[in-house]
Chain A
């Protein structure tokens, strides 16, 4: 049974600071790693994907992957009140012939950016 663990929070961060969100996963075969942002009552929105060890940066967001430790993190720099949302970590496995299996999600971390 694949599992993804996240601290549910809430995580409170002052505006302009760095928000750090963490996620661990149980299946060592996991190959794709995603961070989704979900506002209350809305559907998840993909903000970052990462497939190899190391850091991947996109604007104010940086995803970090450490497969040896089975650990994924998301850093949000210069946090804004609009970043307040639930952040979902998800993993899956790629099929050799193309495509991928269903996503396994964590329960999400509720992030609050304090103005």
Chain B
């Protein structure tokens, strides 16, 4: 049973560029949440998608946007990248209220 898969695993981008991260949820899971984890910090909630709509959003600017597809997979888009966007981006999927995390995408902005 495949767990949560994220791609790519690592990414290097230049300030001002745009990036798209992808997530495939665990089989049977219909809800996808995204988190940003800076070095030495706990994960910070970005937003959650359910039934192809953003159900809840954390305290992140509009540069962060997302999408959920009919097969429940999801994308996280970040526009106008800043150095401070460098972090581990985690996707978590759930059905009901148990969360499973993917292995993450390490984004470095230079």
Q: Which residues of A contact B (CB under 8 A)?
A: 4, 32, 34, 36, 42-46, 49, 88, 90, 92, 94, 98-108
Contact = CB atoms under 8 A, between A and B. Distances in A.
A90 B33 CA distance: 14
A105 to B, nearest CB: 4
A48 to B, nearest CB: 12
B77 to A, nearest CB: 18
Interface residues of B, number: 28
B99 A103 contact: yes
Given A100-B94, A102-B56, A108-B42, A43 B103 contact: yes
A46 B99 CA distance: 8
B104 interface: yes
Contacts of B81: none
Given A43-B90, A43-B104, 19 more contacts: A43-B102, A44-B101, A45-B101, A46-B99, A90-B42, A92-B97, A99-B31, A99-B55, A99-B97, A102-B35, A102-B45, A102-B56, A103-B45, A104-B45, A105-B43, A105-B44, A106-B42, A107-B42, A108-B41
Closest 3 CB pairs of A and B: A105-B42, A102-B45, A100-B97
Interface in B47-105: 47-48, 50, 55-56, 58, 88, 90, 92, 94, 96-104
A99 to B, nearest CB: 6
B58 A102 contact: yes
Interface of B: 31, 33, 35, 40-45, 47-48, 50, 55-56, 58, 88, 90, 92, 94, 96-104
Contact of B97 (A36, A43, A94, A106): A94
A90 B43 CA distance: 9
Nearest to A98: B96
A102 B36 CA distance: 12
A13 B99 CA distance: 29
Tell which of B45, B90, B104 has the most Cβ of chain A within 10 Å: B45
B41 to A, nearest CB: 6
